[in-house]
Each structure stands twice: as C-alpha cells, then as structure tokens.
Amino acid sequence: MRKEVTLAMGNGGEESSELIEKLFFKYFKNEILSRGEDGAILDIKKEIATSSDSFTVSPIFFNGGDIGKLSICGSCNDVAMMGAKPKYLTCSFIIEEGLSLRDLEKIVRSMKKELEINGAIVVSGDTKVVPKGAVDKIFINTTAIGEVIKKGISISNLKEGLDIIVSRDIGAHGATIFAAREGIELESNLKSDCASLYPQVEALIKNDIDIRVLRDATRGGVAAVLNEWARGSNLSIKVFEEKVPVSSEVRGICELLGFEPLTLANEGTFVLALPKTQSKKALEVLKEFNENASIIGEVDSLYPKRVYLESSWGTKRFLDMPTGELLPRIC
C-alpha cells in the first residue's frame, strides 16, 4: 500500500478493497464483518440501548488518547450510561486525502483496544475519502448498540434527598485539548480522562448499587449534566464546592485562562445519583478505578430547576448551564 490515503481508496474499487482488507479488517475482523455485506443482521434477545455520535476532535492525537479511542469510548459510554453492555458498533470514516496511513493505522489500533475493553465488535462500516482541505484530517462516526443489563436508569428517577457522586477528578479532557491546541507546554502529568466507562458501570451493578440516574459529563462538563437534571426534574441540586475533585494541573489552567472546571469537557467521567444509604458502598466500588471519586452534592428543592454551589463558609452562588462555545471541536 502507499504511505498516504488517496482519493482512489474511497472509490469502491480495488484500492478501497485493499484499504479495507489490509487495515480495517486487520483490527476489526469478525464473523459478521467478514461476510462483506452492506449491513449486518444481529441476534439480540434483550432490550437494547443505542447511541450515535460523530467525532471531529482537533488535534487528532492528544495526551491520553486520539480520535479513534475517543470514537469508541464516546458511543460505548453513552450506551453504558443507559445501563447497557456495549455489544455491536457501526463505524464510518471521512478521511482527508493525504492522511498518513501510519496515523490511520494508529487510530484504528486504538479503536480495537477500546472495543476489547467493552467486549464489543464492529459489524458494519463505511469509508469516504475527500479532497485535501474538505475535512481536517479525519472525521469518525460510530453507533453503538448494547444489551440492557439494568433497567430503569432515567432522569425521571431524580428525587429530593439523593446524593450526587462524580466518578473522578473533572475537566482533564478539556484542559488537555486546550493545552495541545494552543501549544501550552506544561511540566506536569496532565492528560485526557478519555476511557471506556462500562467496566465501572458493570462493577456498580454487580455490587447491587441502586443507580437512579447516570450520565457521562462530556461537552459542557458536570455543570451541563447537573443543569439538565435540575431542569428535567423541577428540583435543585446543591454542589459542595470544596468537595469537587479537580487536579492541580486542571486547576492551574483554569486559573490561568479564567475557565470554570465544572464546565470543562470530560471523556471518561460520569455523574451518578443514588440514595444516601448507598453512597459509601458506591464510593468503595468507584475508588477501585479512581481514588478521586467523590460525593459532590445532593438533590433538594430550594431553588427549583437551578444548580447552586455552596462554599465551606455557607455562601451560595448559582452554577448556570454553559453558554457560547468555550472550546470547539473538543470531541
């Protein structure tokens, strides 16, 4: 094969077949995909959850991941947040002419690794190659389908008195992408939190944790998730400001540039609402994955449809839904 992607590799002919056989099948091959059909027939006997997303992150490689890892984590995590085990994915690539095949293989290799973590396979896909300048290197769309293993997880379950837990320290993805894009050199261990979340959800379910509401805090961060929950339930959410876990690296970037950590994007962090009697047990499970898992707040009715921060001094301020475009093409 050539060293770069060419327009001919997207024409459906010999060059396309070579790209599919020598690169995509090398990492994605399975019994269903090997049939070479335009679609896939899936045998699913349980209730299913599905989610589709497109990924255009810039840069395509960043500390802690790349667009390939992000594309699998993104769709699989959305399915996991519905209490489902990711099982099947479709995957479509829009590739800019001239992209290095070495870079493309690195991206696909990352995708295979995350598929294995989730126990999922790619069953259908598509590849398009567009002229140089038509897209920025590569865009990926993935759709995940999963079998529901815990029913009833929904924002409709949000009730007064529930605790709010965050699975790890927040804002790492947004801070990492911003630093990489702006060429900010840091003498630190800052890296994206990009990760597959199903193993943590599975562990919570196996430990009989009474999960009421679950959401990964991607674009808009934890602030967006909590505001959506408050608005959707006509309740309010109190956040204990000093309990929110933020790494020193993320805090430093936020202080330098005037960002609010709670609004920064995450790609491997989720927010969980559950009864107070279950919080200690849930934290024990989550701390096996990340020691920074914390109870950060609770649901009340003091300010309906609002989220507010409470300081250790007892002062309060509202945490609004993020507005404007803080950082485009974050995922």
**Residue of 109, 108, 99 lying closest to 136 (CA atoms):** 99
Residues 258, 250: Cα–Cα separation, whole Å: 11
Q: What pLDDT, on the 0 to 100 scale, is given for residue 99?
A: 98
Amino acid at site 249: E
Closest of 211, 237, 10 to residue 228, by C-alpha: 237
Tokens at 57, concatenated: 């992150």
List, in order, residues 6 or more apart from 26 with CB less than 8 Å away. Answer: 108
Give dist(CA 88, CA 317) in Å, integer.
Answer: 43
**pLDDT tens per residue across span 188-206:** 789 999 999 999 999 999 9
User: Rounded mean pLDDT of the chain?
Assistant: 95
As a whole-number percent, the residues of the chain with pLDDT over 70 amount to 99
Q: Which domains does the chain have, with CATH numbers?
A: 7-148 (3.30.1330.10), 155-318 (3.90.650.10)
Per-residue pLDDT at 328: 85
Instruction: Give residue-wise pLDDT tens across range 105-161.
Output: 999 999 999 999 999 999 999 999 999 999 999 999 999 999 999 999 999 999 999
Among 47-51, 120-124, 179-183, 312-316, the range scoring the smallest mean pLDDT is: 179-183
> How far is the C-alpha of 240 from the C-alpha of 233, rounded, in Å?
20
Query: In the structure, what pLDDT confidence band is assigned to residue 1 with cuts at 50, 70 and 90?
Result: low
Of 200, 224, 233, 248, the closest CA to residue 304 belongs to: 233
Q: Residue 49 has which token pair?
A: 């959850």
Cβ atoms < 10 Å from Cβ of 240:
16
Q: Look at residues 25, 28, 23 and name the one whose alpha carbon lies nearest to residue 72.
A: 28
Write the pLDDT tens digit of every residue in 227-272. 999 999 999 999 999 999 999 999 999 998 889 999 999 999 999 9
Question: In this structure, are residues 199 and 272 in contact, taking their beta carbons and an 8 Å threshold?
Answer: no
Report which residue type is found at 128.
Answer: K
214, burial (CB in 10 Å: exposed 0-12, middle 13-18, buried 19+): buried
Does the pTM exceed 0.85? yes
Give the phi and the psi of residue 321 in degrees, each rounded to 5.
-60, 135
